[in-house]
Structure 1
């Protein structure tokens, strides 16, 4: 039996891509309820309508402290938190807009999960510990210059995941880091490369939650690149830097 059966989850950025796939994947594994968070709850209407009362739409812009506080006050029964909301500006560091884009990416990709995790850590503790799943990227480990500022924000997510894992171990909260390669979502539409279906990423992540795995490289690209990185970090970083240049 899946550990997800009977649990209550919150998914940020649930209106599309991997967030939407997470909602459906959790339901398929028997979650009792899924709070689907999005800036615009109208985008969640079909998920709510199809779920027979098991999906609750919740207004949640992870960059707004008031939204996060309201979500935590409403969703007091959450036992699994999935920090999925993200944005990418597709900027290298010498782009004139890099600082502005980098701030936006950091606010959503890094400070957003901090805000949500802070708000929900006491909720998870009260509900027996539960789990936090942070969606990083293979770019958390290696900077892809075509996604320079995004890679930096995802590196911060990796560090956040490690820190949360240590801080929350005492309350029984497991913290899982997820580091996919290219995923077949709107965010990666401009990349001409092999991409993994979001449903497959979700399957791998939920399997990891069931098995107690703390780090997930859920597709062939992320597994291969991370393996190369562990074997020869400098050579791998140099290759990525030369291959994935902006412009």
Structure 2
């Protein structure tokens, strides 16, 4: 019989300690160096096991602190009535932010895109697809359409260094936002990008933003429903 890969043995060891209750949510697991010595393997092998569990939402890396066990109810949270840079949100939670740019291109607006952005059919628009990660775990798939007239430098930006939100906020100051949220059954593209299980729910935030009276951007923001939540706080005047 083929031998079980060593990284799977380490991964199973960590999972067994979690499921048995020996290690509890919030506990720090042994360091990669300690696991390397314990299992007599390379650092790369240990790192592969830990990375897999981070991506699956079982572990959370905290810079300069170590790797910790996630709580089942530990969900990333974003404000519903505001727009914040996702990179800053992730870093404020003590996690490491990264992203992967899948597409950054020019399109000719069809009927659907023209309605999204309030432009004429066959107008030039810019489009990007980006997966955002927290500790190597995907937390958002961003599909964004941008009015090329109002953000002419969009395609020349390096979105691994700054997010579309950062670029648009600096060049098209926000004056109004429109949000709608719904639970959706993700298609194969979304499931693959967010590493969702077959029956895992997905939250879709549909966002449009204005600068002055100009509709600048329309975005579909997909989040894994088991690991993400949206919140709002509204002040109510009393008499």
Q: TM-score range by the shorter chain?
A: under 0.3
Q: Tell me which protein shows more helix as a share of its residues.
A: 1
TM-score, normalisation: structure 2: 0.25
Q: Tell me which protein shows more strand as a share of its residues.
A: 2
TM-score, normalisation: structure 1: 0.25
